[in-house]
Every structure is written in C-alpha cells, then in structure tokens.
Amino acid sequence: MAEKCYRSELIGLFGCPVDENPTVVIMEAAFKALGLNYRYNTMLVYPENLETAVKSLKALHMKGTHITIPHKVSVIPYLDRLTDTAALIGAVNTVYEDHGEMVGENTDGKGFIKSLEDEHIKISGKKAVILGAGGAARAIAVELALAGTRKIIIVNRSPDRGETLVKLINEKTTAHAEFTLWEGCYNVDEDTDILVNCTSIGLYPDTNVPNIDYNTLKFTTVVCDIIPNPLHTRFMAKAQACGCKTLDGFSMLINQAAVSFKLWTGIDAPVEIMKMAMMKENGDL
C-alpha cells in the first residue's frame, strides 16, 4: 500500500475585513482540478497581529499567503525580502516561500499585463493613461513601465498620490510619466493607446462612471477597467459604444491569482477553471 500523507500544503489570505473575499473559491477549484493536496485558508488578521501572523507562516510550514487590505504595505518589515518589482511598487499582495525565506511579491500589475498579452495588445512604445493613483494604479503603472510603455499619464483627484507615483516612474523606470490633476471632466488625448480605470468608481454597488468626456475617446484606444465586480461595468459599456476594445477587471483578478498560484505550487494555474468557478460563484454562469 502506498504511504499516505494526511498533511495538506497550506496557503493563507490575510486581511481585515476579509470575510467577503471570494478568492478561496478559485484557488480551491484550481487545486481540485490539478489534484493538488493544497488548502487555501481565508484568515482574519487584525493589524496588531500581523507580525505574529507572518511569523506563523514559517512555524506552520506554510507555502505562503495572499495579503489584502489593510496589510499590503505594513507587511513589508516582517518579510525576509521583496522581489525587485514589489520593492518598486512598495506593496505586497503575495508572500511565497523560497528556500526557507518568506518573499514579498506583487502580482496585481502582472495580472493586468497578462490580460493585455492574452488579447495581443501591444505595450512596448505605447502611451497609457491611468485614472487613479492608489495601490492598484501603482502596481499597474510600474508593470506597464517595466513592460516598455513609453509614456504614462497619471490622472488623480488628489495631487499628492499622483505626483508621488509620477516621481517613482520617472526616477526608477525608463518610461516618461506626467501628472494631471483630475478636476471636473477629463479629456482623453486622441493618441492614448491604453486607458485604465484604476479608481474604485463603479465597484458594486456603485454604478457611477469615471468623469471623463466620452466624446474624446477614439476607437483606437484600448479601454480597461480593473473593477472586478460587476463583470460588465458601465465604464466599459460606454467605451464599447465609442467603438473601443475593452478589457475587464475580472480577467486581471484571475490572472493575478494565477501568477500567485504558480509561485506557491510551481505549476501553471488552470486559468479557465478558475474563471468558471468564479463566474459560477457570482451567478454569471
């Protein structure tokens, strides 16, 4: 009789609040599909317990964890090291074990880039406009710059965050970045190749759309929304009405999870199965 193993490899999700985060659905579907003896555990970690929780990763022999609000920045001092991109972005959404070390990585922007690549959208030499300058915008701007984007315009309501992100891109990457203060309605330059909504505008149950002049959108601009829920945002519908190709936040969500999955298991994630599992969970199937 073959020797049995009753221990599962453990992955966490540390957040606060975290109860409503559905990532466990796609991860467990992926483990099951590949016959992996892994468990994904959604864990409520209060800020004052974050250090203890991170130390427990080694104590419990865990493969790693996802990190979500409000810990993406505050987790950094408790890790053994960061990848170069996580260090640039200044935030971590994935921790993985590498030769006994707990390494911080950020897969949000990588998931976004993968979504563009899957649709054969060229990044190198292009001009991107990013609405927002929060954590997700930071990850996406850095990854776009590293992927060869020529020019990045950061459009944000509050100048501090926008200018900080522009400085980061200009000082640490080869891309050229500029800041535009978002006051009133924003006109999209006609030579914009990629426009990304990185604000939280439109996230369920919000039905608002970013305040841009949709008449200035050219059909040659690829319009991306990173809002994962709802699947089809009003922002995307308005861009489609202008003839633009669109990309949704759901594919970015799945792709960032897929990158993390590979870091934990060493195996390519079954992306289509993960998509189906989430769509079923959301009642979209």
* Residues 76-115 as x/- pattern, contact with ligand NDP by CB under 6 A: --------------------------------x--x----
Two structure tokens written together for 38: 């892994």
Q: Is 139 annotated as a binding residue?
A: no
- Calpha distance 178→248 (Å, rounded): 25
Which candidate in 55, 72, 126, 172 is catalytic? 72
**Alpha helix ranges (H) inside 40-191:** 50-59, 84-89, 108-118, 135-146, 159-172
Among the residue ranges 2-10, 52-60, 186-194, 223-231, the one whose residues contact ligand NDP (CB under 6 A): 223-231
Asked if 145 touches ligand NDP (CB under 6 A), the answer is: no
Asked if 166 touches ligand NDP (CB under 6 A), the answer is: no
| Angle ∠(162,166,169) on CA atoms, nearest 5 | 140
Within 8 A by CB and 6+ apart from 210, the residues are 131, 186, 197, 199, 201, 202, 235
Residues of span 6-65 touching ligand NDP by CB under 6 A = none
Which residue lies nearer to ligand NDP by CB, 101 or 213? 213
Residue the block writes with tokens 């796609």:
26
Q: Which of 156, 233, 246, 260 binds ligand NDP (CB under 6 A)?
A: 156
Residue 209 in contact with residue 238, Cβ under 8 Å? yes
Which residue lies nearer to ligand NDP by CB, 158 or 174? 158
Q: Is 108 annotated as a binding residue?
A: yes
Neighbours of 5 (CB within 10 A): 8
Within 8 A by CB and 6+ apart from 59, the residues are none
Q: Is 238 known to be catalytic?
A: no
| Contacts with ligand NDP, residue ranges (CB under 6 A) | 108, 111, 132-137, 156-158, 161, 182, 198-201, 203, 226-228, 249, 252-253, 256
- Catalytic center residues: 72
- Known binding-site residue numbers: 68, 84, 93, 108, 132-136, 226, 249, 256
